[in-house]
Amino acid sequence: MIDQLYALYKREVLKLFRSRFMWAMILAQPLMWIIFFGNSLAGLPKGFLAQYFGVDNYLAYMLPGMVTISMMTAGTFASISIVIDRRLGYLKRVLTTPTPRSAVFLAKALGGMTRGLLMVPVILALGALLGVHYKIDWGALVAWLAGLLALGIGFSSLFAVFTSNTSDVHAPGVIANFITMPLMFTSTAIFPREFFPTWLKALSEVNPLTYATELGREALIYGSAPSTTALAALALFAVTTTAIGIVMVETQLSPD
């Protein structure tokens, strides 16, 4: 199992690093967010920002949220990759060897997570370049990175589950829209909870994006100790989606 997972994960990583488009996306996507969205609230008075966002620079507030959103969207590649492997027949190749279906699934989930993680340093570097002052809490930083791993594998699993049995290339995009849009807007990734109506507040509290984002703000912007609740919530999310994924895939994953 370990050797097979290693082989399939290595395949994902090799393909990832060889794709020029992937590198273009890793660089371009953060740039778009930062330049366009990051500046969208630049005109707000600093006092207002400091009061409601906890920091007088909206870009600084948004940066951890952007990392979180990137981790989530990178997860869609896990499901796209499963669909492509099925269409190319590669899943048949794998499933005629003594490889458990869960290894196929976990490799895709880890691949999606890796894709997301590659964007983190790019986002942080761009932030620094554009004048974000990081106030780092090292304990929170470690917790945040662990949280991002959990978030990445959790979302990749979630996306991959939905396409474990289809060869329709449209499926990943549709699923992604149903998951990413609502989760993005019901989290605190781009706006503070204080602005939300009660029902949206309630939703944001069961949204994994919220927890990952708050951990990131503690680690980089507020420089405060990490919230163990947030880390626990993310671990729970990752374990649940991965477990559901493994069970589903062992019974559902079809070679063609």
Partner 1 sequence: MNSIVVQNLVKRYGEVEALRGISFEVARGEVFGLLGPNGAGKTTTIKILTGLTKPTSGRALVAGFDVVEEPMEVKKRIGWVASEVIVDDELTGWENLEIQARLAGVKNWRERAAELLKYFGLSEAANRPLGKYSTGMRKRLEVAMAILHAPEILFMDEPTVGLDVGARVGLWEVVRQINKDFGVTVLLTTHYMEEAEQLCNRIAIINKGVLVATGTPDELKAKYGVDVIELEVDRPVDTAKLAAFGEVAMSNGKVLIKTGNAEEKVAEVVKAVEGIKSVRVKKASLDTVFLNLTGATFEGEQADIKRLYMKVRMARR
**Sites of contact with partner 1 (CB under 8 A):** 3-4, 6-8, 10-11, 14-15, 18-19, 88-90, 92-99, 255-256
Least CB distance to partner 1 at residue 241 (A): 25
Nearer to partner 1, 120 or 253 (CB): 253
- Mapping DSSP onto H, E and C, the string for the chain reads CHHHHHHHHHHHHHHHHHCHHHHHHHHHHHHHHHHHHCCCCCCCCHHHHHHHHCCCCHHHHHHHHHHHHHHHHHCHHHHHHHHHHHHHCHHHHHHCCCCCHHHHHHHHHHHHHHHHHHHHHHHHHHHHHCCCCCCCCHHHHHHHHHHHHHHHHHHHHHHHHHCCCCCCCCHHHHHHHHHHHHHHHCCCCCCCHHHCCHHHHHHHHCCHHHHHHHHHHHHHHHCCCCCHHHHHHHHHHHHHHHHHHHHHHHHHCCCC
Least CB distance to partner 1 at residue 1 (A): 10
Least CB distance to partner 1 at residue 175 (A): 24
Least CB distance to partner 1 at residue 6 (A): 7
Nearer to partner 1, 110 or 219 (CB): 110
Nearer to partner 1, 11 or 201 (CB): 11
Least CB distance to partner 1 at residue 88 (A): 7
Nearer to partner 1, 99 or 204 (CB): 99
Task: State how far the Cα of 147 lies from the Cα of 140, in Å rounded to an integer.
Answer: 10
Nearer to partner 1, 51 or 251 (CB): 251
Least CB distance to partner 1 at residue 17 (A): 10
Nearer to partner 1, 83 or 212 (CB): 83
